Structure formats: C-alpha cells, structure tokens
Chain A
Amino acid sequence: MTELTQTAQHGLSAHSHGAGVPLQIRNARVRSSKSSDFEAISQREEQWRYLPGDRISDFLVDAFDEFAGDLALKAPDDVKTAWIGPDHDLFGKAGLPEDKISAVAWESAQAAYLINIPSDSKPDCQVQLSLVSEDRSASALHLVINAEHHSTGVVVIDHRGDAQLAENVEILVGDEAQLTVITIQDWTENSVHLSSHFAKLGRNSKLKHIVVSLGGKTVRLTPSVEFTQPGGDVELLGMYFADAGQHLEHRPFVDHAVANCKSRVTYKGALQGEKAHTIWVGDVLIRKAAEGTDTYELNRNLLLTDGARADSVPNLEIETGQIAGAGHASASGRFDDEQLFYLQARGISESQARRLVVFGFLNEIVQQISVPEIEARLTESIEAELARSVD
C-alpha cells in the first residue's frame, strides 16, 4: 500500500491526538441503563460527531420495538440458551450503555437472549447465531454471551436482511476461559445497525473479538473491553468494506483497569465510491493500577477511489509509567501499483488484480481467526462483496 498519511508510533509518553478530544472525557462519560441520564444526541458530542442525525432519525425516539426478526441458533447440546430478564445475575454484568441509543435499546428489550458456554465445553465448541430481519422499524435486541471459567468457544453472530437495529451485546469471559466472538454485518443497503458490545474479562482469560462490516447503509459498532483481573488478553480485530453512500463506524475501547493485561487492536478497511465514509476511533486507557500493560492498536485503510473518506483516530491515554509497551499506528493509502503489476504480469486482468489486492488486504484479518470453517465462510463473503462492487 502506498502510504498517504503518516504512521505514528509511541513509546511510553502519555498522548492523545487526532480529534483533539482528550480521553478523560470518555473516562468521565455517563454509563447508565437509563436513557434519561443521557443528553440528547448531537453531533457536537464526540461520540456522535461523525454521524449525521438524518442517518439515525428513526432512533431519535424514547423507545424501540423489540426485535421481531428470526434468531436461529446452531450450537452443541451443552451450550444452553435462555431469555433472561433484568433481575437475572448475568443481565448487565458485562457493562452498561455509554450512549443514549444503547440505553434506549437496553430499556426497550424486555429480555436478553443468553448463550451460555459451560466450563467443560469441548475445545471445538462453535455457536452460530443467525439474525435475519425484514423489519424496517427501529428495534432493540439484547444478547448475553457467557463463557464460564475454563471454557473454550467460538460464537458467530450473523446479521442479515433489512433492519433498523439497536443492539447491546454483553460478553463475559470467565477466569481462564478462551472465547472468540465474531459479529458479521451483512445487511441490505438500506439497513441501519447501531451496536454496543461490552466485554468483561476474568483472570488469565482470552477474548478474540472480530468485527466484519460489509453491508448496511449505516453501521456503528462500539466494542468496549474491560479487564477485571490480571493476565487478561484481548485481540480486537475488524475489517470493513464501504461502498458509495455507506457509513461504517467502529469505536473499539480497551480499558486497562488492572495490571499485566495485553491488548491488540487491528482494524482494516477498504473504501470506494462517492461518500463512502468509514470512521475508526480507537481508545485505549491505561489506568494507574494497570502496571505491566502491553498494548498496540492499528488501523489501516485502503482508498480505492476518489470521493471516499476514511477517518482514523487512535487515542492512547496512559496514567502509569510502569508499562510493558504501548503504541499505535494509523495509515491510509491507495493501491500499490507494483502489486497490481505483479499480478497482471501473471495474466490476471486489471480488475481482478484489484479485487485480489483488496481481498488480501482484508483477508489478513481473516487469517488471524484460526478457525478454518469460519475463515472459509468469511473469505466467501468478502469475495462476494468484491465481485459485486470492485472493477
């Protein structure tokens, strides 16, 4: 990739840049399940600044319908599911809304769909939740994924169809558990999807969280991760492909609240067409107690045509000097002509060479999933998306 913007790398010094919004504001942000605790949505607020109000006008109300689409589950027998109410122990345990729409959704969904992965799960435990909607009124859905201590599992949430969905996904990773969560946004072109993920990690646990955003007019996804015990390890991966008119926004946040945890954030996106807009705001907060933290975040964007715009804002806030490492990098660029030449010199047509280069750029994320069936599936989705749109 030809680099257009500078790559920034940082050592130990406290630092924040880009939007010029200090992270302390984030730290002091309201967290509540009550929508009335939040100010009205406005682009003057940092968290909404990139999202024009007319894209989410159906969500500027006091209550949403409950999600009425299909939820189809494929899972091994030992994985239990249930609808749980707010009085349940696991409801609201992973986190609380940090924005108004998330809070309205929290209030609107009377029950949450719980997926429980037991301690003695098989190593190849795979759960597939397909969410298909045809409903175009603003609706709310609440999911809770609970990976019990010492469990191992993969949960794929597949979003398809036509929707205006506000979603809260709670992710609990117990002590010593290893969980992979993959969320795929493959909506039709009119859909709006606003999704907040809250993950809480126990001692020596590992979470691999993967976001794949391909379809949807407006997708905004905010995965927040909090470490509660030392030894936690999180990998936040994401890839997105934005066509003309699409708005894809991702705001990963890692809260290093305790010592000796590790985080890696890697998001890659490709954009093409008029008013294709992607936003990546990566926040990492290393609190005073979080000695021995090791973190790195990276966002790379490939701009395939003029008229597309990628905003990329890494924020790293460090409150202790005793860390193992902290850095971030952000870069946007265009096609590397030498890559195209190499492929064309092997007989591959120019348009196919472009598709292959974009495919490879995004596929680097897929290659980190290390669950072969899921890799194959995602590879197919990306190829289909590129076949439709890149020429």
Chain B
Amino acid sequence: MSILQIKNLHVSVETEQGAKEILRGVDLTIRNGETHAIMGPNGSGKSTLAYSIAGHPKYEVTDGEILLDGENVLEMSVDERARAGLFLAMQYPVEIPGVSVSNFLRTAKTAIDGEAPALRPWIKEVREAMEGLRMDSAFTERNVNEGFSGGEKKRHEILQLELLKPKFAVLDETDSGLDVDALKVVSEGVNRAKAANDLGVLLITHYTRILKYIQPDFVHVFVAGQVAEEGGPELAERLEAEGYDRYVRA
C-alpha cells in the first residue's frame, strides 16, 4: 500500500511584481492503483501542482505538506523525490542536446534502482516497451526530445513511466496534441504501467476523450488554485457539457 497526500498546499512563484500565490490550499489524497483526473481552466494552477510535487525550484511552497507514505516530500530534492517513487510526465518535455535516449534511459534507470540494470534484459525491456508505444527503435540513438514531434515527446514520457516504474505518476496533459491513434497507444502504456506496478495516477487533462481509455476513479475540478469540486467519472461528462462557468463565477 502506498499513499500520496497533499494537504493544504500553498505555492507561490516569484514575479517581477513580487511573489504571486498560485496554489491556495490544495487537498488531495491518492492511493496506489487509483486514478484521479484533474480538470480545470487554463491558468488555474494544474501544472503548478504537478511541478510542486516534483520539486521544481521555481515554485515555492509557502504552506502545507506533501507526504509519500508518511515521508515529507517537501524536504527531498528533485532527484530524491523521483527515487522515492514520484514521476512527472511533463507538459513540455525538455530537449537535452547530445545525450542519446538510450544513454538517458540507462542513466535514469541506474539512478532509480541504485544499480545499473543488466545489459541484455534491459535492452530487451526497452525494445518491448518501445514496441508497445509504437516507437521506432531508431529513437534510442536520437538525442533526448531533440526534434521529436509533440506526440513523440509524449510517447517518450510514457516510455520512461513504464521503464522507471514509479509508485505515483503525475501526467500533465499527456493527451494534448495526440492524434486519435496516438491517444490510444499512450493510454495503453499508462494502463500497462498501472497494471504492472499498481501505479497511482494523477491525470491532468482538458478533455474527456482520454478518460474513455484511462478510467478515472475520481475527478477533481481545479479552479483558481484550489479543488472546487470532486466527484466520480460522471463529473467529467458534466464539465465537458457545461464548462467551468459556474465555478469561475462562484
């Protein structure tokens, strides 16, 4: 059993006009095996939440807690969080020039496991995971995210999710920019990771179409840095039909 708890989380960013509060008291609890969808208007703070969980230095936590199985995540460095079992599939994955995907994946796997994976089984595992995501094996020789299309970057994020086997994954708009086929392929990758590792998922999205493939157990409506409403999958349908108007006005 694993549990990720976010309690009364307040987060600010530094702007030219001084600190600006973006998250204003977020409460969320995710258990392993559960999928939580987070939906909310642009600028409501969804990526901020994702980055704050991962520990991006730009975001300053001013109040509240994040606990992973009771451990204080906020005291951990970015890499410690990843090694503790947290994973962030980024909305805009970064290019790392000159570093091949195979070098990157092996380095990350070694860091997460604390030892280098045995070469042959590892190569096989990578190849199979790539096949599952319909990624050409030539990608291993390319530099990380360099010249990748939007959809290819997202597949590459999910490839890492499958290979690094975290306890909890935050998927920040992994579905955005994917064509219908890619959406299905990427969703299957997430579902494989869920099945294989009893992964807990925090799935940030603007669209219900991904929720047809990845069934959420809970849906949270995120507005102005807070959870405005929570419900089951039916809440997503309603949001799609009605939009966020009533929350924003309220």
Contacts and interface: CB of A to CB of B under 8 A. Distances in A.
Contacts of B54: 341, 345
A347 B94 contact: no
Interface in B147-198: 160, 164
B111 A338 contact: no
17 contacts: A339-B94, A341-B78, A342-B93, A343-B107, A344-B77, A344-B78, A345-B82, A346-B82, A347-B112, A348-B79, A348-B111, A350-B78, A352-B111, A360-B143, A363-B99, A364-B97, A364-B98
Contact of A352 (B87, B95, B107): B107
Nearest to A355: B107
Contacts of A363: 98-99
Interface in A326-348: 336-339, 341-348
A118 B164 CA distance: 52
A360 B93 CA distance: 17
Nearest to B163: A346
Contact of B98 (A338, A343, A361): A361
Given A347-B79, A350-B79, A352-B111, A342 B57 contact: no
Given A347-B79, A350-B77, A342 B96 contact: yes
Interface of A: 336-339, 341-350, 352-353, 356-357, 359-364, 366-367
Nearest to A379: B103
Interface string B104-124: 100110011000000000000
Contacts of B30: none
B67 interface: no
A348 B107 contact: yes
- Majority-rule SS of A interface residues: helix
Interface of B: 54-57, 77-79, 81-83, 87-88, 90, 93-99, 103-104, 107-108, 111-112, 143-144, 160, 164
A359 B99 CA distance: 7
Contacts of B94: 336, 338-339, 341-342
Contacts of A361: 97-98
Contacts of B160: 346
B97 A360 contact: yes
B204 to A, nearest CB: 16
A347 B97 contact: no
A352 B78 CA distance: 13
Nearest to B98: A360
Nearest to A348: B111
A30 B28 CA distance: 75
Given A346-B111, A348-B108, A349-B111, A339 B96 contact: yes
A359 B104 CA distance: 12
Given A342-B90, A346-B82, A347-B82, A356 B111 contact: no
Given A346-B160, A352-B107, A360 B82 contact: no
Nearest to A336: B94
